[in-house]
Structure 1
Amino acid sequence: MEFKSWLKRFVLEHGLLISWLIAFTATLGSLYFSEIVGFIPCEYCWYQRILMYPLAVILAIATVRKDIRVYVYVLPLSISGGSISLFHYLNQKVTFLHELGAACGPIPCNIEYINWFGFVTIPFMALVAFILVTIIHLSLYYVQRSENK
């Protein structure tokens, strides 16, 4: 079997489940950090949550229904969430943007509650989740589009 056809089949069969698992894990992770560890979310974290939590629900429903056309709803959320996560991460790590986060609200957006390996912060983890969901759903879009030709 050719790799390209194997990849198409894999994305069609497992893409929804994998993207739901990513969104669900990100949702549980954010709840763990705030409710169990006690990290108070900053304003940018709330925006990311507003975009990630519905993804977990939408993708759960789409997975059960095997609705690969859910990319219509998922991509705007995942791309917007990834953009906010990227800005938040850069706000933490880039010196001239670091000052913007100090005036973010009661909790500064440039605070790094965790900094694993010198680069893994909470916004970085959210960014990775949003990027993975986006890649999977762009793949679903292209696979579905190529099969309808």
Structure 2
Amino acid sequence: MNESGFLSRIRKYSLYLAWIVSLIAVGGSLYFSEIAGYVPCKLCWLQRIFMYPLVIILGKACYSDDRRQIGYVLPLSMIGGAISLYHYMEQKIPGMAGLMPCTSGVPCNTDYINWLGFITIPFLALIAFSLITIILWIGKERAPQFADEAEATTGL
């Protein structure tokens, strides 16, 4: 399969792929907090605020094949990704913790998991937000062949 074939498949199934990534991220978030017993910090809650609606919005977009929802999802995923990046930097860069310290509850620089020395919960969230953003950016505009197929099936 050539590169354009790969990108056209990503474009065609972008809503579904992004929805699956958001489902996995929400499932992981709930696993870590409810089953593993890790209490989320303030920044974790902010990331949840931006990830959880994506499951509903992308699920509805998949059901109705409504690519217009991408315009609502991209800002949520980009802002959530920025929060995840900041949170990850706060965990891994010693001087970052003083910029916005978590003054109550769980400290934001706590590493509940540290797989391979760099994979933490904020890193996993950053990967999820980045994947959703990239997948939807690719799928933002339908390829001309898909637009023609949609017109043929809807009669528009």
TM-score by length of 2: 0.86
How do 1:1-149 and structure 2 match up within 5 A?
A: 3-4=3-4, 6-100=5-99, 102-141=101-140, 143-144=141-142, 147=144
- Gaps spanning 5+ residues in structure 2: where? 148-156
CA distance in 1, matches of 2:102, 2:11: 44
CA deviation map 1:41-100 (0-9, x unaligned): 000000000000000111111111111222101101000000000000000000111344
Q: What's the Cα RMSD here? A: 1.7
One-letter amino acid of the structure 2 residue matched with residue 12 of structure 1: R
One-letter amino acid of the structure 2 residue matched with residue 49 of structure 1: R
- Gaps spanning 5+ residues in structure 1: where? none
CA apart distance, 1:8: 4.2
CA distance in 2, matches of 1:100, 1:37: 29
- Determine which structure has the larger helix proportion and give its number: 1
Change (3 A) 1:69 1:7: farther
Q: SS of the counterpart of 2:60?
A: helix
Change (3 A) 1:130 1:136: same
TM-score by length of 1: 0.89
One-letter amino acid of the structure 2 residue matched with residue 24 of structure 1: L
Larger Rg: 2
Change (3 A) 1:110 1:101: farther
User: Quick check: 1:91–1:98 contact (8 Å CA) kept in 2?
Assistant: yes
Residue-pair matches, total: 145
CA distance in 1, matches of 2:103, 2:72: 29
Structure possessing the higher relative contact order (Cα contacts under 8 Å, 6 or more residues apart): 2
Change (3 A) 1:7 1:98: same
